[in-house]
Structure 1
Amino acid sequence: MNEHEMTGEQGRPIRSAGVRLVPSAITVLAMCAGLSAIKMALDGSVGLAIALIGAAALLDGVDGRIARLLDATTRIGAELDSLADAISFGVAPAIVLYVTLLTGNNFGWVVALIFAVSIVLRLARFNTLIDDTEAPAYHKDYFVGVPAPAGGLIALAPLAAYAQWGAGWWSSFPLVVIWMVIASALIVSRIPTLAMKQVSVPPRMAVALLISVALMAAGLVTYPYILLIAVVFLYLAHIPYAVHTKRWVAARPETWHIPPAERRALRRSNAQRRSLARLGLRRSKPRGRSSRVAGRGRAR
């Protein structure tokens, strides 16, 4: 223990004030990235605007983990995180899209307002659900609706296509409006989505994960806009899986306190048994007394 730490009554180290401010500092950086994205869009730098909102999403995913690692979670940090998310993933994407693809149309501004308000409503609901102590244990494995960082990146998909391929049907006013309305609906919906912090990778998939990370790093350097579009559609494609798994868990209270990895193993084993049954390969059950009696009757 160094001179910057003290020991509490239970022998637990009390972090210095400077260390406890690290997660909040990262949150402020994320908020500054979101606000700077608006400036870049106003200056005509579409690529930098997208990159800054992406950087805000990465910082948002880091600050909470660092707060837990440093045992520096505070109520003010949680409130600051929500305010930063509202700016970086609600206000910033809405204004960036308005000044690039929706400019010159009053209805485009209405759609931008709808999107920003959807993010704020989603964050308000998230804060109320945190205090719900009566929710089943498995609820922490899922978000209610699309989280704010994912929602902000989903909304930027048409802009990423515009930055990659120029003007086209993907950047037309009607499509962008429809896309933003769909994104807003997903954000405020009650559709379950997986909480990434609860996702675990089995050891046998470690090599595949590392290869995927390498491919994503290469894509980030060479084709960043295509990578963003691919990540957005992969995320949208996981939603039916999240809905299915949450229904499966909700119908089986005995699995509510089981870790997600063990629940996945149970689902796989059940799926394998159903597949064998459909193929007629299910193991035959041991013959009971009634079967033996019937057998004797037939033998006679």
Structure 2
Amino acid sequence: MAPSTPGIRLLPNAITVLAMCSGLSAIQFALAGFYGLAIGAIAVAAVLDGLDGRIARMLDASSKMGAELDSLADAISFGVAPALVIYVWRFDDRLGWAISLVFAVCMVLRLARFNTLLEVEQPPYAKEFFVGVPAPAGGLLLLLPLIVDEQMHRSGWWSSTPVVMIWTVAVGVLAISRIPTLSVKTVRVPPSYAAPLLVAVAVLGAIIFIYPLVALIAAMVIYLAHLPYSVRRYRWLAKHPEAWEVAPADRRAIRRAHGVAARRLGLRRPLRGRVAGAALRAVRLPRRHAVRSTPPPPPRRDWRGAGIRRTQKNQTTPPDQPE
């Protein structure tokens, strides 16, 4: 690709700056009491954050300054801004301020680790995953109680101060954890699925414009539900190096082939304390009908009924009397 002009090379950085401004505007909206606009501002920042990197790669305008600027914008838009929005909305004491600081620090640490991992050589399959929850998803996950509160137009258990505190710490822990999460940057769409995908995007856009808060809630719930699948996929790829450089369809074929081979070899899960058929009866029968080691006592005879008088032990017959 031919080198881009200086004006074009500034476009990704301009989008990054707009994302940072959108995140900072969320704080101003929260201070004014417009929590719906604050949620929308952070959501717009997440969309812009997903565009700047892709545009930089398409225009061959990636630079060291752009990478540093992107990390700084993410720390502000998805670390500082959501923490302050939650603090203004629900927290009003020192403990709440400490909880907000914990979340902001966790997001900054997560971004610092992300920049460090870029310089570390990793296996090929690792590029398909993030380490921990990424910054945009973490910022939106933190706002989930506020989003539900705005959608329901009333407060509930989800918006109580203890629940919001626990949720804030939990999202911060997910951000700095080692849980692998799927990265949409490596998703490739076959040409045959381009038209249906555009239709799906149009439907999704209509739903977002009509029911924006419901769409955000559904997106966050789906994202949380995908975590077990992401962990399982990561572990499977780590154990199958032959699937690292192949397409997803070929990976499914490899997975099916491994399953067929296991069935042909008769590899089955061990029975946990259970035996089938006759073996079950053979194993459980001695437990139910235990054989006594000592013979049963002899039956007692009724000497009186037979007319026989039983002699007592140590009893002697008296001698005959003299005449």
TM-score, scaled to structure 2: 0.77
| Cα distance in 1 between the residues matched to 2:241 and 2:71 | 32
1:161 aligns with 2:148: yes
Residue in 1 that maps onto 2:130? 143
| Separation of aligned partners in 2, 1:150 and 1:268 | 32
The residue that corresponds to 2:226 in the other structure is 238
- For 2:111 and 2:181, how far apart are their aligned partners in 1? 15
Question: 1:65-98: per-residue Cα shift (whole Å, max 9, x none)?
Answer: 0000000000110000000000000000000011
Alignment of 1:1-300 (within 5 A): 13-102=2-91, 104-133=92-121, 135-165=122-152, 166-201=154-189, 209-271=197-259
Instruction: Provide the rounded CA distance (Å) in 2 between the counterparts of 1:169 and 1:250.
Output: 41
Give 1:176 deviation, angstroms: 0.8
* Partner SS state of residue 245, structure 2: coil
* Cα pair 2:129 2:183 within 8 Å, conserved: yes
More divergent stretch after superposition (264-273 vs 13-22): 264-273
SS at structure 2 position matched to 1:190: coil
Most deviating of 75-84 and 253-262: 253-262
Residue 46 of structure 1, CA deviation: 0.4
Q: 1:226-283: per-residue Cα shift (whole Å, max 9, x none)? A: 11111001011111111111111101122223344532443355457768999x9xxx
Deviates more, 1:263-272 or 1:50-59: 263-272
Structure with bigger helix share is 1
Aligned equivalents of 2:97 and 2:18: distance in 1? Answer: 27
The AA in structure 2 aligned to 1:27 is: T
| Equivalent pair of 1:94/1:113 in contact (CA under 8 Å) | yes
For the 8 Å contact 1:200–1:261, the answer to whether it is kept is no
Structure 2 residue runs of 5 or longer lacking an equivalent are 269-323
Render the CA deviation track for 1:190-232: whole Å, top value 9, x for unaligned: 0000111112345676566445434422321222111111100
Q: Secondary structure at the match of 1:13?
A: coil
Q: Which entry has the higher C-alpha Rg, 1 or 2? A: 2
Distance of 1:25 and 1:18 partners within structure 2 = 10
Separation (CA, whole Å) in 2 of partners of 1:201 and 1:178? 38
Answer whether contact 1:98 1:112 (CA < 8 A) is retained.
Answer: yes
Letter of the 1:238 counterpart: H
Q: Percentage identity across aligned positions? A: 55
TM-score normalised over the length of structure 1: 0.82
Q: Note the C-alpha offset of 1:162.
A: 1.0
CA distance in 2, matches of 1:228, 1:74: 32
* Alpha-carbon distance between aligned partners in 2 of 1:245 and 1:38, rounded to the nearest angstrom: 38
**Separation in 1 of the partners of 2:188 and 2:5?**
32
- Residue 198 of structure 1 aligns with an amino acid whose one-letter code is T
C-alpha contact (below 8 Å) 2:130/2:182 kept by paired residues: yes
Provide the C-alpha distance between the structure 1 equivalents of 2:249 and 2:186, rounded to a whole number of angstroms: 9
Identify if the C-alpha distance between structure 1 residues 275 and 24 changes in structure 2 by more than 3 Å, giving closer, same or farther: farther
Whether the 8 Å CA contact 2:243–2:254 is kept in 1: the answer is no
Is the Cα–Cα contact under 8 Å of residues 34 and 89 in structure 1 kept in the other structure?
Answer: yes
Give the conservation status (yes or no) of the 8 Å contact 1:36–1:49. Answer: yes
